[in-house]
Amino acid sequence: MRPRAMTKLTFGAAAAATLGLLASLAPTADAHQPSGHKPELKRIGYFTQWGIYGRNFQVKDLKTSGTAAKLTHINYAFGVIGADGKCLMGNAPGSDPWADYVRPVDAASSVDGVGDTADQRLAGNFNELRELKAANPGLKVMISLGGWTGSAHFSDAVRTDAGRKALVASCVDTYIKGNLPVDGARGGAGAAAGVFDGVDLDWEWPGSEGAPGNVIRPEDKPNFTKLVREFRTQLDAYGRSLPKAQRKHYELSAYVPTAPAKIDAGFEVSRIMRDFDFVNLQGYDFHVSGEKTTAQQSALFAKNDFSVDQTVKAWLRRGAPAHKLVVGMPFYGQGWTGVTGGGDGLGQPATGPAPATWVAGSEDYKHLKKLAASGTYKLHRDYRNGHAWLFDGTNLWTYDDPTVLRTKASYVRHNGLGGAMIWSLDGDTPDGELITAIDRGLNRR
């Protein structure tokens, strides 16, 4: 995690000074939040469908690491919006029914220690999430729709009232009602009922550029508002339609951007926030390894640059209630190689993304911790602005470690925000070092 000389360093004088800044640099008080209203601070972690393969990160790992007990929500990434404008499971890029509900999980890998049987209607990640919820009463699971590579069809799907109704109805049918396509013994009507407690919209981005090839229209902005309203309407209607003892409120959230230009292009903030239970703010990728100069990717504060504080204030100024703003925190780092110019490496030219375990330029915290302990890298920390980076003279990694995350959690608590969101849970250490830091920061422990 840190060089040997700094292994006992957590909240020293410099870190305490950072917390002292929180009051003077705090966002405006939340006029929407009733006096004395102190809801539970959220701890939302994204579980990646594909993490079960190369990373071998299973739902059971959330139990054995102690992570599940520290979460309020798990966002399952991702549900797919197909070219037909509906939630799709099957033959489409990003859809993996095998991982979702077909794959048999053996006893050793199962949350409850019992292996899946051949005649079981629900297996795979969905069944494991159901078991995890049974072991952790109060834990909610949301289906996250879209993602960076899965947002291509949103704009087309929501152009008309009929299209929005069809999209939402298909998503409610598949994930909330749990009506899955039949695959051998798996699936069928109600097979996944009770797994998901709500929907997280991850359209990147309405009205502005996202992944190459995404359709973008100026009318995405009002259409997004109408889509949110349609989700709220259908989720509420279904929740009320259940037998009295089973009636519930299905939650609705979204992942939203940091850049003011993207906020203004795609989000009617004061209107959509009436229907959202909360939104997850982009709190990372402020700078990425594809850029020619090294920079912070997730600083709490930054002058004339993107930062967590800038993002929070941008949403508050546009009418978002503070208690509905959940701050995104990365469990990975952005890295550059070929860094020249000396010094601590930050703000210097680089030749490209740094080599990494899975994808060049992006590395899980658990691997960055090993780099920090190797003696090859030096840890640098900006206490005032709340970020850290590693530099070995050639390679630079900017990331959040437990010290940074505790500071950010204190910022959330101090400013009456909604909690913390994590991308993604598979980046943490096997003993849940990062989620523990967030949990302690949110709880003053």
Other CB atoms closer than 10 Å to residue 440's CB: what's the count? 16
Q: Where does residue 101 rank: exposed (0-12), middle (13-18), buried (19+ CB within 10 A)? A: buried
Q: What is the pLDDT of residue 18?
A: 46
Residues recognised as catalytic: 204
pLDDT at 445: 57
Sketch out the chain's domains with CATH numbers.
39-330+400-442 (3.20.20.80)
Q: How far is Cα 222 from Cα 235, in angstroms, rounded to an integer?
A: 20
CB atoms within 10 A of CB 373: 15
Contact, 90 vs 66, CB < 8 A? no
User: What are the tens digits of pLDDT across the range 339-357?
Assistant: 999 999 999 999 999 999 9
pLDDT at 92: 82
What is the predicted pLDDT for the residue at 39? 65
What values do phi and psi take at 198, rounded to 5? 165, -175
8 A C-beta contact, residue 35 and residue 413: no
In tens, the pLDDT along 164-202 reads: 999 999 999 999 999 999 999 999 999 999 999 999 999
pLDDT per residue rounded down to tens, the chain (445 residues): 222 222 222 333 333 444 444 544 445 444 344 444 456 899 999 999 999 999 999 999 999 999 999 999 999 999 999 999 999 998 788 899 999 999 999 999 999 999 999 999 999 999 999 999 999 999 999 999 999 999 999 999 999 999 999 999 999 999 999 999 999 999 999 999 999 999 999 999 999 999 999 999 999 999 999 999 999 999 999 999 999 999 999 999 999 999 999 999 999 999 999 999 999 999 999 999 999 999 999 999 999 999 999 999 999 999 999 999 999 999 999 999 999 999 999 999 999 999 999 999 999 999 999 999 999 999 999 999 999 999 999 999 999 999 999 999 999 999 999 999 999 999 999 999 999 999 999 998 5
What pLDDT shows up at residue 444?
Answer: 81
Q: Tokens in use for 73?
A: 């929500």
pLDDT of 364 reads: 98
Q: What is the pLDDT of residue 93?
A: 84
Q: Are 390 and 379 in contact (CB under 8 A)?
A: yes
Tokens at residue 15, please? 């870190």
The pLDDT, as a whole number, for residue 38 is 54
Q: Identify whether the C-beta of residue 357 lies closer than 8 Å to the C-beta of residue 364.
A: yes
Radius of gyration of the chain (CA): 21
Distance of CA 165 to the CA centre of its chain: 26
